[in-house]
């Protein structure tokens, strides 16, 4: 059974969720983490998790969604949500330096503040980094965020950046770019198999004309199969190992997911 450690199913039409979950389960994806990008979407993620047995939540504010510094009320709301029993990660937080992105210092303050929330709840962090690797490594090291564990979301970075992430204690979260990027395949071949987790991101993709082409958690076995090919291992071994890695990454809040997987296999 597979665990999709990062999706944005809360951004889909709520009427689609049962079908998305059913299609994922049919492909052996038994547990899915839905990650917030704002306080409001984090609240939706928690609600979705509370009403769907196989869904778990991440809470956080994405750097690109910042409209100003996180307020005390924002942080109080995130702190409250982070205490929910089906929240398993602080996500999606990070730094994004694409053109027209929010102020960089503001992003850094938000990242540090959310790491603090994660620390209070002993949550691992799943972080977004785009064109900001050097600053991300600096902030994560300053905050000793590796003590919390977590993963570099949708990883597409260099081996040097991967080494920095791994040395701090994080995992690499691989998604469908693994199917098409030779440089990422090289990093995956080099990276320790016990430090890799899998995801689909599964954000709505209206730019794809056919709805059935949208990425969903059902596509996770494609990533697992490609990783198996790269590593020269059986797909079953990749599924077992990445699932074990995800549970280890989540740590103290993984018991519910473990029980779900055990039930699915019984």
In tens, the pLDDT along 116-170 reads 999 999 999 999 999 999 999 999 999 999 999 999 999 999 999 999 999 999 9
| Residue from 245, 219, 193 nearest 23 by CA | 219
* Ramachandran quadrant class, 240 (left: phi over 0; alpha: psi -120 to 50; beta: rest): alpha
CB 119 within 8 A of CB 144: no
Residue 151: the pLDDT is 98
219 token code pair: 């596509």
The residue written with tokens 């980094």 in the block is 129
CB 72 within 8 A of CB 39: no
Quick check: helix, strand or coil at residue 198?
strand
Question: How much is the mean pLDDT over the chain?
Answer: 97
For residue 266, name the pLDDT band (cuts at 50, 70, 90): low
Q: Quote the distance between the C-alpha of residue 245 and its chain's center.
A: 13
Global pTM value: 0.96
Quick check: helix, strand or coil at residue 201?
strand
Element (H, E) at 222: helix 220-231
pLDDT tens digit sequence for 210-243: 999 999 999 999 999 999 999 999 999 999 999 9
Q: How many CB atoms lie within 10 A of CB 256?
A: 16
pLDDT tens digit sequence for 167-203: 999 999 999 999 999 999 999 999 999 999 999 999 9
CATH superfamily of 2-265: Metal-dependent hydrolases (3.20.20.140)
255 token code pair: 């018991």
Q: Quote the distance between the C-alpha of residue 61 and its chain's center.
A: 13
DSSP code at position 37: S
């Amino acid at each position: 059974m597979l665990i999709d450690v990062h999706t944005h199913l809360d951004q889909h039409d709520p009427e689609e969720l049962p079908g998305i979950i059913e299609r994922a389960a049919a492909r052996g994806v038994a547990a899915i983490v839905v990650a917030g990008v704002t306080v409001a979407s984090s609240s939706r993620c928690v609600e979705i998790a509370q009403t769907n047995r196989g869904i778990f939540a991440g809470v956080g504010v994405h750097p690109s969604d910042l409209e100003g510094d996180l307020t005390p009320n924002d942080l109080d709301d995130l702190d409250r949500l982070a205490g929910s029993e089906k929240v398993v990660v602080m996500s999606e937080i990070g730094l994004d330096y694409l053109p027209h992105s929010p102020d960089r210092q503001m992003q850094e303050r938000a990242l540090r503040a959310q790491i603090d929330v994660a620390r209070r709840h002993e949550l691992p962090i799943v972080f977004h980094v785009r064109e900001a690797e050097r600053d991300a490594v600096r902030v994560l090291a300053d905050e000793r965020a590796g003590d919390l564990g977590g993963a570099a979301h949708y990883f597409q970075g260099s081996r040097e950046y991967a080494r920095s992430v791994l040395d701090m204690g994080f995992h690499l979260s691989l998604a469908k770019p693994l199917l098409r990027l030779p440089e990422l395949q090289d990093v995956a071949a080099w990276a320790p198999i016990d430090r890799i987790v899998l995801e689909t991101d599964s954000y709505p993709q209206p730019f794809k004309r056919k709805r059935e082409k949208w990425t969903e958690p059902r596509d996770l076995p494609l990533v697992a199969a490609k990783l198996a090919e790269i590593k020269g291992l059986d797909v079953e071994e990749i599924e077992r190992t990445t699932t074990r890695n995800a549970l280890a990454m989540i740590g103290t809040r993984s018991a519910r997911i473990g029980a779900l997987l055990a039930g699915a296999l019984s």
